[in-house]
């Protein structure tokens, strides 16, 4: 099949869609990617790119990338984020029809974490190309806006709900990354459009990237009972709870809580670490996604956390799949679908979200297990990953889903 992927986020930003595109190409499909300028999560446009102008490049040798101008996220704030979201819509509508003129596709796929507005340019392309449009829904709108505090005004949230309804009405297939997404998405869309399609990752470690992990970090991970949190260090991840747990565990010999990544709360964490003299809390910085397997394999346990909001109970954070694939025991400080997966996999321990004491107790309980017990939990998680989230299988299933649904709908 010939796919057009539309996404505001793509390589060199670290998202699972990068590996999915690689797998599509490996399996013999053709992919063109329409995206913006990389600036997530720090907010600054990556070196080698400019916010202005159109840029073309290649990904995985054969994938054509078309990049439209974008207002960078900057240091966050409502205005910057709104401009970031709207700029992709505006430049996508203006530039992509021209850049893709004369091109035909079997399906258009939108990778849709926030914002859902990135689907709008794809809708225009669907009409122009008379092509099946599928959206891989990663976040629930307008619920995520309220949960993160980005929008609080009920009238604005209602207006966003009507916008979401209109966007979904123009889509042919809505791929939902969690079964729990079905009811919330169905408030704004026909259930017939919904297909459960979970996130997946390419689990193979990249052997040539080991040198990107500093020896000092490797030693710290290997010489301590190290609990690694990887990913965005932001509001949604309940980072305050992690710092609270580190404070409660400061007297525990040989225990380290290691945060790998960056985000809007990183400076706050750095300040609290210094103020509370938390020597057991390590801020390792950002690493490419290809380096994560080398970090995970040296960790004693892997930690995922979210705020105690209803919307987050619907979500399976993509790092859950990455953690299961790593074959290490998992600590899940969250509710709902993510917790269900970890528990069903027998991969580790679940605790109440936004509860530093509960998190600290879970870490101590895992530390008290024998190495054989922790190894068994990790292997159980890996087996569950292979059965439910293996990317090779999931990519084949994606092609089957879109191929059959496009045929049933006559390709429109």
Count CB neighbours of 16 within 10 A.
22
- The span from the CA of 263 to the CA of 365, in Å, is 29
pLDDT of 409 higher than 80:
no
SS3 110: strand
From the list 406, 408, 398, the residue with the least C-alpha distance to 129 is: 406
Confidence of residue 411 (pLDDT cuts 50, 70, 90): very low
pTM: 0.81
Q: How far apart are the first and last CA of the chain?
A: 15
The more confident residue out of 168 and 292 is 168
pLDDT of res. 204: 63
Q: How many CB atoms lie within 10 A of CB 39?
A: 21
pLDDT at 201: 84
pLDDT in tens, 208-246: 555 589 999 999 999 999 999 999 998 889 999 999 999
Q: Dihedral, CA atoms, 115, 121, 124, 129, nearest 10 degrees?
A: -120
Check if the beta carbon of residue 263 is closer than 8 Å to that of residue 234.
Answer: yes
- Phi and psi based region of residue 277 (left: phi greater than 0; alpha: psi -120 to 50; beta: remaining): left
pLDDT > 90 in the chain, percent: 83
Angle at 314 between CA 311 and CA 317, to 5 degrees: 100
All domains in the chain, ordered by first residue: 2-200+390-408 (3.40.50.2000), 207-388 (3.40.50.2000)
pLDDT tens track for 68-89: 999 999 876 788 989 999 999 9
What was the pLDDT predicted at 210? Answer: 53
Give the pLDDT score at 77.
76
> Could you tell me which of 315, 290, 91 has the C-alpha nearest to residue 205?
290
Q: Do 48 and 56 form a contact (C-beta atoms < 8 A)?
A: no
The predicted model gives 352-373 an average pLDDT of 97
pLDDT at 300: 97
CA 162/CA 142 separation, integer angstroms: 9
Note the pLDDT of residue 76: 67
Q: In this model, does residue 403 exceed pLDDT 80?
A: yes
Which among 276, 245, 275, 206 is positioned nearest to 358, based on CA atoms?
Answer: 245
Q: Is residue 197 within 8 Å of residue 400, measured between CB atoms?
A: no
Sheet holding 255-260, edge to edge: 281-285, 255-260, 225-230, 301-305, 330-333, 348-351
Average pLDDT, the chain: 93
247 class by beta-carbon count within 10 Å (0-12 exposed, 13-18 middle, 19+ buried): middle
Kindly report the length of the chain: 412
Whether residue 151 is predicted with pLDDT greater than 80 in this model: the reply is no
* Residue 412: per-residue pLDDT: 44
pLDDT in tens, 268-320: 999 999 999 999 999 999 998 789 999 999 999 999 999 998 888 998 888 99
Buried b (16+ CB within 10 A) or exposed e, 65-85: bbbbbbbbbeebeeeebebbb
pLDDT at position 211, please?
58
Coil vs helix vs strand at 259 = strand
pLDDT at position 248 is 98
More reliable by pLDDT, 263 or 8: 8
What's the confidence (pLDDT) of residue 147? 75
Average confidence (pLDDT) over 335-347: 96
Q: Which residues pair with 170 in a beta bridge?
A: none
* DSSP per position, 15-84: -HHHHHHHHHHHTT-EEEEEE----TTTSSPPTT--SSS-EEEEETTTEEEEE------TT--HHHHHHH
């Amino acid at each position: 099949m010939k796919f057009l992927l539309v996404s505001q986020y793509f390589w060199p930003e670290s998202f699972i869609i990068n590996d999915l595109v690689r797998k599509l190409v490996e399996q013999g499909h053709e992919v063109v990617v329409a995206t913006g300028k990389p600036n997530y999560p720090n907010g600054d446009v990556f070196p080698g790119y400019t916010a202005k102008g159109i840029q073309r490049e290649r990904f995985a040798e054969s994938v054509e990338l078309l990049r439209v101008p974008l207002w960078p996220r900057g240091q966050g704030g409502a205005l910057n984020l709104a401009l970031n979201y709207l700029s992709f819509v505006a430049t996508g509508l203006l530039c992509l029809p021209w850049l893709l003129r004369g091109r035909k596709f079997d399906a258009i796929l939108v990778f849709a974490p926030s914002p859902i507005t990135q689907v709008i340019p794809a809708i225009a392309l669907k009409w122009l190309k008379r092509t099946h449009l599928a959206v891989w829904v990663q976040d629930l709108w307008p619920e995520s806006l309220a949960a993160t505090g980005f929008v609080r005004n009920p009238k604005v949230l209602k207006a966003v709900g009507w916008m979401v309804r209109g966007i979904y009405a123009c889509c042919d297939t809505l791929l939902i990354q969690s079964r729990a997404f079905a009811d919330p998405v169905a408030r704004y869309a026909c259930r017939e459009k919904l297909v459960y399609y979970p996130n997946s990752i390419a689990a193979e470690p990249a052997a040539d990237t080991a040198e990107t992990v500093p020896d000092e970090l490797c030693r710290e991970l290997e010489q301590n009972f190290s609990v690694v949190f990887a990913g965005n260090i932001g509001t949604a991840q309940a980072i305050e709870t992690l710092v609270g747990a580190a404070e409660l565990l400061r007297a525990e010999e040989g225990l380290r809580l290691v945060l790998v990544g960056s985000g809007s709360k990183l400076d706050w964490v750095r300040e609290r670490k210094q103020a509370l003299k938390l020597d057991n809390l390590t801020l390792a910085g950002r690493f490419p996604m290809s380096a994560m397997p080398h970090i995970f394999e040296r960790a004693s346990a892997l930690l995922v956390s979210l705020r105690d909001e209803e919307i987050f109970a619907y979500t399976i954070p993509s790092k859950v799949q990455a953690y299961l694939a790593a074959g290490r025991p998992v600590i899940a400080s969250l509710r709902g679908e993510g917790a269900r997966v970890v528990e069903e996999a027998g991969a580790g321990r679940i605790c109440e979200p936004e509860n530093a004491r509960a998190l600290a107790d879970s870490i101590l309980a895992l530390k008290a297990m024998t190495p054989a017990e922790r190894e068994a939990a990790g292997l159980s998680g890996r087996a569950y990953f292979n059965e439910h989230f293996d990317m090779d299988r999931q990519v084949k299933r994606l092609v089957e889903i879109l191929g059959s649904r496009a045929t049933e709908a006559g390709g429109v």
